[in-house]
């Protein structure tokens, strides 16, 4: 069982020295990855009840990954997950490729389609068609990364006679898809190297792995993507060896516990996850 940490760019982890400290602690504990959350804005209205704008402030995920890249050497750096339809895909392709180059090839591109309509409205993004937008934006990004002469004449983005540098060090950059809808299942199988589930119990993880297995029979998964890797962020709370074993039995390959609200408690969360996985007989 591999281990990562989630939320190193939000709540109490928005100061540079705190991000650095948590990233180094995870690396020293043998974790394999850092996962950055993503929101551009929060609504100031009825939908705001889920958020504390001050406590839940987010450092931009790409910028936070760049900072983390500079203070680590082995950790994979994951947009976990970036809300793809909110971003200009041509600009994002360059930003993410730059992270991959500066980190020596440690980027993992995690993406989702989002759910918060006021956020889309503030950015001027298309909420209604966000799934189709995400699919086309992902195609645009991969063409800009890998094609000799990138071009795309799409419904939501078009370009031709262009080129972009730097190109990623990795070929390919691993892609992880978040979400549990039928469209997310299809997107995972056709374009993803992995699937990510946030705040997910072992039972829910097993159900989703089964949905992915069943859908695989009717979806053409490119052989180049290889076996699908499953990553889960468990609900908050101490991780036990029994829980680790339950996740493993469900088909999970990596656990990414949420960091606590207080940076002072981060070492305990990291140590707990390490001890639980080791006690369950797993290793990173």
Q: What is the pLDDT of residue 41?
A: 87
Separation of alpha carbons 269 and 259, rounded Å: 7
What pLDDT is stored for residue 44 in this prediction?
74
The pLDDT score that the predictor gives to residue 82 is: 97
| Per-residue model confidence (pLDDT) at position 281 | 85
- Per-residue pLDDT tens digits for 138-182: 999 999 999 999 999 999 999 999 999 999 999 999 999 999 999
pLDDT at 224: 94
> Consecutive 10-residue runs of the chain (284 residues): their mean pLDDT?
95 91 97 95 66 69 96 98 97 98 98 94 96 98 97 97 95 97 96 97 98 94 96 97 98 97 94 97 59
DSSP string covering 54-74: TTT-B--HHHHHHHHHHH-SS
Q: Phi and psi dihedrals of 148, rounded to 5? A: -65, -40
Q: What is the pLDDT of residue 55?
A: 56
Largest CA distance in the chain: 55
Tokens 């949905």 belong to which residue? Answer: 211
| Structure-token pair, residue 151 | 């071009």
Residue 284 is predicted with a pLDDT of: 46
Its pTM stands at 0.94
The yes/no answer on whether domain 2-279 falls in CATH 1.10.260.40 is no
Q: What is the DSSP letter of 32?
A: -
Q: Domain segments of the chain: what residues?
A: 2-279
pLDDT at 54: 56
pLDDT in the model for residue 42: 80
Q: Is 106 helix (H, G, I), strand (E, B) or coil?
A: coil
CB 3 within 8 A of CB 30: yes
């Amino acid at each position: 069982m591999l281990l990562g940490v989630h939320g190193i760019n939000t709540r109490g982890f928005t100061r540079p020295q705190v991000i650095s400290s948590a990233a180094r602690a995870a690396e020293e504990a043998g974790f394999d990855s850092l996962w950055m959350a993503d929101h551009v804005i929060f609504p100031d209205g009825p939908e705001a009840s889920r958020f504390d704008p001050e406590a839940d402030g987010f450092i931009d995920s790409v910028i936070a990954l760049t900072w983390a890249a500079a203070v680590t050497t082995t950790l994979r750096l994951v947009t976990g997950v970036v809300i793809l339809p909110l971003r200009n895909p041509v600009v994002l392709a360059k930003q993410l490729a730059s992270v991959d180059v500066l980190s020596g090839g440690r980027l993992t591109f995690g993406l989702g389609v989002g759910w918060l309509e006021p956020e889309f409205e503030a950015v001027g993004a298309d909420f209604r068609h966000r799934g189709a937008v995400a699919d086309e934006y992902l195609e645009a990004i991969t063409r800009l990364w890998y094609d000799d002469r990138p071009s795309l004449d799409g419904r939501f983005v078009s370009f031709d006679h262009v080129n972009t540098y730097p190109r990623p060090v990795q070929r390919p950059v691993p892609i992880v898809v978040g979400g549990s809808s039928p469209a997310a299942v299809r997107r995972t199988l056709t374009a993803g190297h992995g699937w990510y589930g946030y705040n997910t119990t072992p039972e829910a993880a097993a159900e989703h792995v089964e949905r992915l297995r069943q859908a695989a029979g009717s979806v053409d998964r490119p052989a180049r993507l290889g076996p699908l890797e499953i990553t889960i962020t468990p609900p908050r709370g101490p991780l036990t060896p029994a829980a680790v074993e339950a996740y493993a039995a469900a088909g999970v390959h990596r656990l990414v516990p949420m960091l606590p609200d207080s940076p002072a408690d981060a070492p305990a969360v990291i140590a707990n996850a390490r001890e639980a996985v080791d006690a369950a007989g797993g290793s990173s």
